[in-house]
Amino acid sequence: MILPIYLYGQTALRRETEEIEQGEIDVKQLIADMQETLTQAEGCGLAAPQVGLSKRLFIVDGSELGEDYPDCADFKQVFINPEIIEESEETSTYSEGCLSLPGISENVIRPKTITIRYQDADFQWNEDTYTDFKARIVLHEYDHLEGHVFTDRISPIRKQFVRGKLINIAKGKTVARYRYKRN
Per the annotation, the verdict on 18 as an active-site residue is no
What burial class does residue 164 get, using C-beta atoms within 10 Å of its C-beta: 0-12 exposed, 13-18 middle, 19+ buried?
A: exposed
E runs forming strands in the chain:
5-6, 45-47, 57-61, 76-87, 91-97, 105-111, 113-119, 125-131, 180-181
Phi, then psi, of 93 in degrees rounded to 5: -120, 135
How far from chain centre, in Å, is Cα 134? 12
Q: Of residues 19, 83, 96, 141, which has the active-site annotation?
A: 141
Q: Which residues are catalytic?
A: 141
